[in-house]
Chain A
Amino acid sequence: MNRRVSLIKNLDWITIMLYAMLVFLGWINIYAAVYNEDHQSIFDATQRYGKQLIWIGAAFFIAIIILTIESKFYSAFAYPTLILMVVLLLAVLVFGVKVNGARSWFQLGTIRFQPAEFAKFATNLAIARYLSQHNFKIHKIKSLFITGLILFTPAVLILMQNDTGSALVYSIFVLVLYREGLSGFVLFLALLAAIFFVLTLIYSSFTVAILIIAIAAVSLKMIGVQVKQIVIAFGILAGSFGTLWLINKGTDLQLENFSLVVIAILLNTIPFLVHIYRQKITKAAMVLLMVIGSLFYTFSVSYIFNKILEPHHQKRINELLGIQSDPYGAGYNVNQSKIAIGSGGFSGKGFLNGTQTKFNFVPEQSTDFIFCTVGEEWGFLGSGVVLLLLLGLILRLLFLAERQRSSFSRIYGYGVAAILFFHIAINVGMTIGLAPVIGIPLPFFSYGGSSLWSFTILLFIFLRLDANRLELLR
């Protein structure tokens, strides 16, 4: 009895309240999204809202089970759970059924089940377990390798199911790693990579190359290289480039300007390095290395984008970046979604009064684009409240994570917050045209048993760990 009382007392009821509110709002909005005059009862189990209510009931039941399990169990069984999930992910590749082009579902009678959803908490458990080991040092090659193995195994398997969205979720663990000591430089590099990626696609590789060289010049000045030397170095570069350009014009090589820049730099690399060695300005070598690395990256981006990505992915990215506009083709969903949300105005059209969402203008109304219904019927106020509730939840989770004595619990908590954040950022960002259209659900809102249950499990394991925070120290 005592144990149960202390469990209830130690549970973080704020999080549970936020969870319950979000689930409730999700259900209400699913009702509005697929509202059906013939089936007006929100409890009608033949409709999605009726079904969602069943999923919600089951989710509460799951939550209670999770809370009654001893918290040691979760760390003890972290690896077996992951292995089980990997087996399921492998099995779904063989026995799964295809839905919307992704082979990621098991079909049992009328019920479908998506193992990718459940792989998230399993991976999170395993990461927490591994990172919390005493001998774990993040910058050791072996540690990085095993961390990578834990993250990439499920991600690659999910990618093989053709479910890109769910696979990309694993990239967000970089935040968890950062919290556990990964160099901030990695985050910075990731940010820079993203910026160069966008710039390469919007402008040309050549423009980005010029930008990289300009940044290099500023960096050289900042590390204390004399202006005169910088000018001479860039003069040499410009001269080489000019010569190459003339040769290119005069002959039949037809190289792109970007290639000319790369060749110019590579030709001068050895003389520059010799000069750097003589002048003992080793930091400049780093800059040179960075320049070459960035150029290589820029080249890869345009190569990968044009040669490796599939046309529909290219289109979605082009649409997002405004390179191509095709409001009735690739951009249809996003355009209609923006119209629906935009037409909501300040306070919305009112519950069940949305016209855009009702006309089925926006596809995937109750699943991936559920935020449209919120935006249209509840306006800026409603969508703002929902966003703030979601932000409140993930910030609360950060707070809870930081108060853990056990690093296993803390890392797991960060994982939960990061996964939720990624879903929110991509899902909401997609509905308002700030992120590419990647089909991943909005936590607690989107219709579907698998996703609701997986987020519930993810969250409540953490709440269980949190309830035990005072008892054990691992």
Chain B
Amino acid sequence: MRLTIEGLGKRYRGGTWGLRGVDLELGPGVVGLLGPNGAGKSTLLRLLATISRPTEGRVLWNGEDIVARPEPLRRVLGYLPQDFGVYPNLTAREFLAYLAAAKGLARAAARQRIEALLELVALRDDAGRPLGGFSGGMRQRVGIAQALLADPQLLVVDEPTTGLDPEERVRFRNLLSDLSGERIVILSTHIVPDVESVATDLVAIDHGRQIAHDPPEDWLAAVEGRVWQWTVPSAELAAVRERFRISGALRRAEGVEVRAVAESAPTPEARPVAPTLEDGYLWTVERARREGRLAA
């Protein structure tokens, strides 16, 4: 299976480009789609999920254009939108049965699949309650379950961990890892740790532009020797934040231990430390902005 994205762009009414010039070639695995809020991640995912139509460029699923022929993709697509709703008076089981019917699953198979999914997302005990009484995290789990209903080959999930508690986040990451063997999973987030352990590929988007597509190791290698840590008095923290790209701050008895990404040591006291993927992401975005690769 292959997902090919060529020169993809989406212009909204009023002439604003939400996305432009995206080129990707994706195979089985988990793709972490990273970018700040408003970068164009959801726009890209809506295009891939055949919800929106591109203004330019094309998307090919196993060589077929998904605008001209969306059905082959839709048959194997699982999509979790960032903002989705539920019918509040239906129970979780009824809601999933409804969506299974819409996705064309046979009743008996749907029933089995729904029970397995309810177990998977730890909602079996609450499956008979109306969805209107569910917490945000529980609704999100229903959303994850519906995305997996039709055993998708392409799973597109937009900010899937929103509202999940830490335990649920770990569970979800493990689930993605398990699922990724024979399918393409595209996971959009602005929280780097969500993709740190599971992503086989990383794509960064900023201001509607694709700025990177690399394996996670490349991001770590790129920032190696450029991550610094030192301690500053609390009163100076604001000034330090203005001068450097701070990726973390930890309050200590002697002040605030700050972590920054920079070409060279920001201060004589700064010492190099091992980079994380978050440092790599910040460095990638920073470098793209500096090199002017975000100009429309």
Chains A and B belong together in one complex: no
Q: Interface residues, chain A, CB within 8 Å of chain B?
A: none
